[in-house]
Amino acid sequence: MSISSEKSDIELQPFEAVDVLGKNEKDSDRPKALLLLLAILLIVIFSVYFIFVNLRYFGIKVEKECPTNWTSLNRTMGEWCVQVFFGNINLAEAQQICSNNSAVISSIENTDELQLFSKMAQVSHKNYIYVGARRTEKCMNSKLSDVCTKETSFEWTDGFTKGVEGFQWEDTQPDNHLGDQKCVVLGVKTSLLDDERESAMRGGVICGARPN
């Protein structure tokens, strides 16, 4: 019996392992690509935030502006923005008005500011407006004396005022009448200061804030 070898008519097709593996590799690369893209995006966002919020770190001057319709002042400590608000108000109400405008009651650094604030308030025909000063602890119950002078009886409260040039008072002031005049108002017509009770109703307030 002879065995003859014949070529089979059946041809084996090559197993497509390479293609399958390639497809699997592509599928597995997608999450990696997405993660890489997300990482790059986060780096870009952080970099932009860091640059714009911390420009001073790079020695770059940041230009800021006063709010619309506010007046810019060049003070010893830098730029200061001010605006007058009118109304029949006491000290607490004056503080609230400034707070509502992201500001504080403005103090007065020099003679120019005394005159400017008075001029700004003249349009209201009011006599007095609140400014940012409070009686010092050592002079709380004192009238003018060698210790409690026109320059030392009060202190500025806005945290951005230097010196005592702005303490220019009306005649005989500050007199601490009845011993309870703990705050300060500016005479619109005189451009001079007067000490006042916190409950006194006055015609307005000068608010101040750093530019933003």
Q: How far apart are CA 68 and CA 70, in angstroms?
A: 6
DSSP state of 126: -
H/E segment holding residue 26: helix 17-53
Query: Taking the mean position of all CA atoms in its chain, how far away is CA 47?
Result: 23
- Residue 74's identity, in one-letter code, is N
**Alpha-carbon gap, residue 193 to 55, rounded angstroms:** 40
Helices (H), 54-110: 91-100
User: What is the C-alpha separation between 22 and 190, in angstroms, rounded?
Assistant: 89
**Structure token pair of residue 61:** 């001057």
Phi, psi of 34 (to 5 degrees): -65, -40
Contact status, residue 47 vs residue 41, Cβ threshold 8 Å: no
Tens of each residue's pLDDT in the chain, 212 residues:
444 444 445 455 554 544 544 555 556 667 777 788 888 988 988 776 666 556 555 555 557 899 999 999 999 999 999 999 999 999 999 999 999 999 999 999 999 999 999 999 999 889 999 999 999 999 999 999 999 999 999 999 999 999 999 999 999 999 999 999 999 999 999 999 999 999 999 999 999 999 99
pTM above 0.75, yes or no: no
